[in-house]
Amino acid sequence: MNLDSFWSDVLAGLLVTVAAGLVAAIVAWWITRPLEDRRAQRARDEAAAEDFYRAYGGFFAAWKAWAAFKPDGDGGQRTPTNEQWMALLNQVTEAEGSLESFLVRLTLERKLSNVELTRLWCFRQGYKSLRYAVRDGHALGWRRSDATGPEGLRQHGECIT
């Protein structure tokens, strides 16, 4: 075997190996990157959903606790002690803060339609309404309504409260 042919065979093998490695790396990146992007998006969506569920759970608990003091019906209203009132106001503000955090996260990560933005605004208004009711010491006056349009909003675009 000739020394020149030995080195040319080694060089050719090395070039083929490097080229094959580069092609494999490019193909792997091209295939795995979208998969990883989708997996990361799914993880962010799951974390955001968990944040929303926690905020809604806190809101619902505070709403029901406040309704025990200030029911929407006739009579039966009780005045909370100052400690109860402060604890409930704290619970309401924590739930509202959780929702605000969720909304910031969602609006930064997603492109939302006008209908979706309006629905989120309605959620936000509900949280604010509860905080105002607790702060001012009055009943919410929330009742079920069937006067909704196809998007779950009244025909003229306002929130149902």
Residues making up the chain, counted from first to last: 161
Provide the pLDDT for residue 144.
57
Report the b/e string of 81-117 with b at 16+ CB within 10 A: eeeebeebbebbbebbebbeebbeebeeeeeeeeeee
**Which residues of the chain are modeled with pLDDT < 50?**
150, 152, 155-156, 161
Whole-model pTM: value is 0.67
Tell me: the pLDDT tens digits for 36-47?
A: 999 998 998 899
Instruction: Tell me the three state secondary structure of residue 76.
Output: coil
Q: What does R_g of the chain's alpha carbons equal in angstroms?
A: 29
Provide the pLDDT for residue 150.
46
* DSSP per-residue letters across 129-153: HHHHHHHHT------------TTSS
What are the structural domain ranges in the chain? 43-136
